[in-house]
Structure 1
Amino acid sequence: MSGRLGADSHATVQNTRLGIWLMIATTVVFAVQDGISRHLASEYNVYMVVMIRFWFFAAFVMALAARADGGIRAATRTRFPLLQITRGVLLVTEVCVMVLAFVKLGLVESHAVFTCYPLLIAALSGPILGEKVGWRRWAAILIGFLGVLIILQPGYAVFSPWALVPLLSALLFAVYGLLTRYVARGDSASVSFFWTGTAGAAAMTLVGVWFWEPMSGPDWGWMAALCCTAIVGHWLLIKAFAVAEASAIQPFAYLQLVWASGIGLFLFGEELRTNVAIGAGLVVAAGIFTLWRQRVRAQQDAHS
């Protein structure tokens, strides 16, 4: 699908094109954020790094809410308070797990496994949301998980349990995504965004303050850069979804794998093993097909 319904065809193309470029910019910023996270978490405790990042994220969402109609009071009004809090806790937990994966496995392999999260969303959308998943999407899901197995290589030589960490992160993010879709039935996107930042920051503070470490001056600069990339990345993502439909731009989110892998290869000296490249290719192809089938089903439902 493209652009906004009701606009003329030229405007629709322009909106979709702008949304694509905004999504590409988002993936670049988030990849840089991952590289900075990998550096800081290699030197300092993961909980502290993520806590400070979420403090700035919470400040960002509160600033957005204060400028919106109704202010912060309107942003706090939710029909699903417990689910919104759960979403925030899930996301901040996922971030901690993924940053840990960056340190233990590197950016290349972590992102190669993490890219299976759209397949997990598709697989879990039936039992959690009651959505119907057809045989074509199930076939794509199975092919995608074959790609994950190729990346992980269970049973080959000495299998590292750390290889499962980004898979856990993908599962957490998938459940977070499904809960986001569920609460969207009663809450606006701005309400969900507000609760994501504030609940996540509150939960992380309860843990992170116990792991505070002194940080060097240069690394405080990197921390400031991390917080800025988080804010800029989320702002770009909001703008991307504001000018184009999700189904049209979501496939471009896979470019984050490319940029993050490049940072891992050229800045951190990681290597791209053949099995990781092949497996990641299968996962991405299966994920894009799944997104395309979801778009086709949405179009069919709209015309039925």
Structure 2
Amino acid sequence: MSAQNTKLGIWLMVATTFVFAMQDGISRHLAGEYNVLMVVMIRYWFFAAFVMAVAARKAGGLRAAAATSQPGVQIFRGILLAVEVCVMVLGFVLLGLVESHAVFTSYPLLIAALSGPILGEKVGWRRWTAIGVGFIGVIIILQPGFRVFQVEALVPLAAALMFALYGLMTRYAARKDSAATSFFYTGTVGCVVMTSVGIWFWEPMTAPDWAWMALLCVTGALGHWLLIKTYDVAEASAVQPFAYLQLVFAATLGITAFGETLELNVAIGAALVVSAGIFTLLRTRAKEKA
């Protein structure tokens, strides 16, 4: 991989994390005003249309994208991500962007910890140490012994666990299916699931909030398009550490737009989680090159 492509990949990943952080901010606003299930449902309508448009342009079209020998795995992935999105958006409303993202950032460590039992991958002592350090960081963020423990604090942790499982299931699916097929099922299954649930919670929206909803849909599609482009031009292991910038962008948005505060324990805990996550990524990359 040339240095120029890796550099472009890094900039695309930075742009991706910025767009996704903006999407999270809009989700926080809309879910604070309307039912979470309805907000996520409308977001999925646009996402499914985007996914199908991407699939239709590729060789073989929709039929090729939908072809899979493991429909159960693909459907489960789609359902899991849809539920995770709902849980995470609920976390934004209950805890805010700063604390939710600080806890959610632990998901790469959960992927590393679960890759052994689920995918049969070997996790060495260095990565187990990093995982342990990362979870000390999560405990520092949540402060279970220093205040009345908020049950709400478990919401982004549950989202992180679901997203980690989604990531592992995606890796499992990749053994037989292309990325295009997995992407197709992510959007279409999520759309069907969210419509079957969210349609019962429909509420009329104001004109300004429809504008925010349109922007939410555009940022969702743009974010996924940028992510696809990122992995087209650079190795995943080279750009993945920059995905942590989403925490920085989301925290900045939470503080400036929503009046949230960055507590010292959250800053220290997040620093530990991010450091442990980057170390884990570097160890994975080193093992792949060995």
Question: 1:179 offset after TM fit, Å?
Answer: 0.3
Show the counterpart of 1:162. Answer: 152
CA distance in structure 2 between the aligned counterparts of 1:191 and 1:207, rounded to whole angstroms: 24
**Once the two structures are superposed, what CA deviation does each residue of 1:57-95 show, in whole Å capped at 9, x if it has no partner?**
000000001100000000000121011000011101110
Question: 1:157 offset after TM fit, Å?
Answer: 2.1
CA distance in structure 1 between the aligned counterparts of 2:72 and 2:204, rounded to whole angstroms: 35
CA distance in structure 1 between the aligned counterparts of 2:30 and 2:114, rounded to whole angstroms: 33
Q: Describe how 1:1-304 pairs up with structure 2 within 5 A.
A: 3=1, 12-300=2-290
CA distance in structure 2 between the aligned counterparts of 1:165 and 1:285, rounded to whole angstroms: 23
**Once the two structures are superposed, what CA deviation does each residue of 1:218-250 show, in whole Å capped at 9, x if it has no partner?**
000000000000000000000000000100000
Question: 1:140 offset after TM fit, Å?
Answer: 0.1
Question: 1:289 offset after TM fit, Å?
Answer: 0.2
Question: 1:295 offset after TM fit, Å?
Answer: 0.3
What secondary structure sits across from 1:225 in the alignment? helix
CA distance in structure 1 between the aligned counterparts of 2:287 and 2:194, rounded to whole angstroms: 38
CA distance in structure 1 between the aligned counterparts of 2:95 and 2:123, rounded to whole angstroms: 33
Aligned residues: 290
CA distance in structure 2 between the aligned counterparts of 1:276 and 1:183, rounded to whole angstroms: 35
Question: 1:155 offset after TM fit, Å?
Answer: 2.1
**Once the two structures are superposed, what CA deviation does each residue of 1:80-120 show, in whole Å capped at 9, x if it has no partner?**
10110000111011100000000000000000000000000
AA in 2 matched with 1:114 = F
**Once the two structures are superposed, what CA deviation does each residue of 1:147-199 show, in whole Å capped at 9, x if it has no partner?**
00000011222111000100000000000000000010000000000000000
Question: 1:33 offset after TM fit, Å?
Answer: 0.3
CA distance in structure 2 between the aligned counterparts of 1:93 and 1:155, rounded to whole angstroms: 29
TM-score with structure 1 setting the length: 0.95
AA in 2 matched with 1:148 = V
Show the counterpart of 1:8. Answer: none
AA in 2 matched with 1:39 = H
CA distance in structure 2 between the aligned counterparts of 1:156 and 1:146, rounded to whole angstroms: 14
The list of structure 1 runs, each at least 4 consecutive aligned residues, that deviate by more than 2 angstroms after superposition, is none
CA distance in structure 2 between the aligned counterparts of 1:224 and 1:34, rounded to whole angstroms: 14
Question: 1:262 offset after TM fit, Å?
Answer: 0.3
Gaps of 5+ in 1: 4-11
TM-score with structure 2 setting the length: 1.00
CA RMSD of superposed structures (Å): 0.4
